[in-house]
Amino acid sequence: MALRYIPLALKHSPTPKIEHFAVLAGLDAAVRGTLITIMPLAVYDALKDAQSTSAAYFAAGVVSLIWGLMVPWATRHIPRRWAYTGGCLLYVAGMALAITGTAWSMPLALMCNAMATATVFVCFNAYVLDYVDRANLGRSQGVQMAYAATPWTVGPLLGVWLHDHWAPAPFVLAGIFALTLLTVFWVLRLGNGKQIARAKAPAVNPLGYLGRFFRQPRLIAGWFFAVTRSCGWWVYVVFLPIFCVEAGLGDKVGAVALSVSNAILFIAPEINRRARALSVRRSVRLAFACGGGLMLAAALLSVLPWVTVALVFGASFFFVVLDVVGGLPFLMAVRPGERTEMSAVYSSFRDVSGILTPGAAWLVLFVAPLPGVFAFAAAGFFLCWGIAGSLHPRLGVQRPSRGREEAAPD
């Protein structure tokens, strides 16, 4: 996005609008989308060994998980605006390290990017919960996905193309996007959010709020939905391309499938409208059931490679549906006084899935061929389908008393 166009979309108002948060989400997606395909290749090129590359990603996942859980504690001592700023600068530091491309700098770049993602995600969700009312959370998720559609569609192929022409190019571009994200954040003047959460309470132990999380079944269920959805994407992004190579389909099929799947994000607002009309519970259950069924079918029909690719690609549509509405059970259950803390817990789904999926696949491959990973993902989706049956039937359904509030322009 050219800087000269920013003022048209970002006219400041006392209350940030849904579209403002969508711009931030889109720029964050531009950073990560540019790196999603090239970063694993760059780490592998630097370390020269698949096992070392796996160890680097595992270490980055652990560091990111711990870091993300510490962000709420940090924001009690550091204003949230500076925490968000620090996250953007961690992106820039990660890009600077990645440009050097050495065996010691690439793992550090991976860790910086993981910490940046966790910090930005926690602070961003806290801002959204501060300024977007419950009736509009679903619409906010849909608009964010729509703004992120282009970066996630173009980024994977663009990163590889730039790297082929000049190795540092994708990292330079991602660094520019990170600085643009920081600039737009300060233009919006979000400050430190609404300060309504226990202003005079003593500082909480960094992990003390986990006890409150585990005492709220709705939060646990919502978090588990996010972990399982993310595991599905891990299988799609990592193991489908490997399956294509082993089946003789080439190394481009998986990358093209990912870009096409990400293009579904363009219709995220429409998906959100349909899902909210159906109710969150029914939409979430339908997405888990259909996604799991297609993944299981892909495993059973793996002797037909193109059919398997088509089935897994079809499952990715329901992954997108879960991206749009799957987070609502958690976000709608968060208490106002725990926004930052529970945003940190929620953000851990990415790191947990990044640790869980490779570990589970490693075990599955001891006893089954690669399509067994698809079957394992299907089992997780069916489990979530069962758990989602306990959600309130009217979750996310517009209430008559809130009709005017939801219909109000943003």
Alpha carbons 361 and 212: distance in angstroms, whole number: 32
Q: Are 263 and 302 in the same domain? A: yes
Does residue 404 belong to any structural domain of this protein? no
Asked whether 311 and 297 are in contact (CB, 8 A), the reply is yes
In order of 37, 172, 229, 380, the CA distances from 353 in angstroms are 18, 28, 9, 12
| Residue 249 burial class via C-beta count within 10 angstroms: exposed 0-12, middle 13-18, buried 19 and up | middle
Does residue 200 belong to any structural domain of this protein? no
* 233-235-241-246 Cα dihedral, nearest 10 degrees: -170
Q: Is 44 helix (H, G, I), strand (E, B) or coil?
A: helix
pLDDT score recorded for residue 369? 84
Q: Are 151 and 219 in the same domain? A: no
- Average pLDDT estimate for 294-317: 93
What's the pLDDT band for 208 if we cut at 50, 70, 90? Answer: low
Domain boundary among 166, 193, 220: 193
Q: Are 264 and 184 in the same domain? A: no
Does residue 232 belong to any structural domain of this protein? yes
Q: Are 214 and 165 in the same domain? A: no
Asked whether 215 and 298 are in contact (CB, 8 A), the reply is no
Does residue 4 belong to any structural domain of this protein? no
Read off the tokens for 187: 């233009």
pLDDT score recorded for residue 393? 67
What pLDDT digit, counting tens, does each position of 83-140 carry? Answer: 999 999 999 999 999 999 888 899 999 899 989 998 998 889 888 888 887 677 777 8
What pLDDT digit, counting tens, does each position of 185-196 carry? Answer: 999 888 766 554
What pLDDT digit, counting tens, does each position of 364-393 carry? Answer: 878 888 888 899 999 999 999 999 888 776
Q: Are 124 and 266 in the same domain? A: no
pLDDT score recorded for residue 11? 47
Q: How many alpha carbons lie under 13 Å from residue 67 in its C-beta half-sphere?
A: 24
Read off the tokens for 291: 């996604």
Q: Are 98 and 37 in the same domain? A: yes
Domain boundary among 163, 193, 223: 193
| Residue 215 burial class via C-beta count within 10 angstroms: exposed 0-12, middle 13-18, buried 19 and up | exposed
pTM above 0.75, yes or no: no
| Residue 404 burial class via C-beta count within 10 angstroms: exposed 0-12, middle 13-18, buried 19 and up | exposed
351-369 burial string, b = 16+ CB within 10 Å, else e?
bbbbbbbbebbeebeeeee
> Which residue would you say has higher pLDDT here, 227 or 13?
227
Alpha carbons 356 and 368: distance in angstroms, whole number: 18
The percent of residues above 90 in pLDDT, for the chain, comes to 26
Closest CA to 154 of 241, 242, 258: 258
pLDDT at 408 over 60: no
Read off the tokens for 290: 């259909």
pLDDT at 13 over 60: no
Q: Are 173 and 316 in the same domain? A: no
* Most confident of the ranges 8-17, 64-73, 155-164, 307-316: 307-316
Does residue 317 belong to any structural domain of this protein? yes
Does residue 199 belong to any structural domain of this protein? no
In order of 68, 259, 309, the CA distances from 206 in angstroms are 10, 38, 44
Asked whether 118 and 67 are in contact (CB, 8 A), the reply is yes
Read off the tokens for 209: 């709020």
Q: Are 180 and 263 in the same domain? A: no
Type of residue numbered 246: E
Closest CA to 149 of 63, 41, 261: 261
Phi and psi, residue 133, nearest 5°? -70, 160
User: Mean pLDDT score of the chain, rounded to an integer?
Assistant: 80
C-alpha gyration radius of the chain: 21
Alpha carbons 1 and 267: distance in angstroms, whole number: 20
Asked whether 145 and 323 are in contact (CB, 8 A), the reply is yes
> Which residue would you say has higher pLDDT here, 186 or 156?
186
Q: Are 25 and 167 in the same domain? A: yes
pLDDT score recorded for residue 282? 87
Alpha carbons 238 and 58: distance in angstroms, whole number: 14
What residues contact residue 41 under an 8 Å CB cut-off, 6+ apart? 160, 163
Q: Are 61 and 183 in the same domain? A: yes
Type of residue numbered 292: G
Q: End-to-end CA distance of the chain, in Å?
A: 22
Asked whether 326 and 226 are in contact (CB, 8 A), the reply is yes
Does residue 61 belong to any structural domain of this protein? yes
Residue that has been written with the tokens 């999926």 in this structure: 357
Closest CA to 166 of 74, 38, 349: 38
pLDDT score recorded for residue 339? 66
What's the pLDDT band for 399 if we cut at 50, 70, 90? Answer: low
pLDDT at 319 over 50: yes
Domain that holds residue 296: 210-397
What's the pLDDT band for 10 if we cut at 50, 70, 90? Answer: very low
Does residue 101 belong to any structural domain of this protein? yes
Domain boundary among 164, 193, 222: 193
What residues contact residue 328 under an 8 Å CB cut-off, 6+ apart? 137, 138, 141, 222, 280, 395, 396
CATH of the domain at 278: 1.20.1250.20
Alpha carbons 78 and 122: distance in angstroms, whole number: 14
> Which residue would you say has higher pLDDT here, 160 or 404?
160
Question: How many domains is the chain built from?
Answer: 2
Q: Are 70 and 114 in the same domain? A: yes
Q: Are 185 and 287 in the same domain? A: no
What pLDDT digit, counting tens, does each position of 38-67 carry? Answer: 787 788 778 876 557 767 877 887 888 888
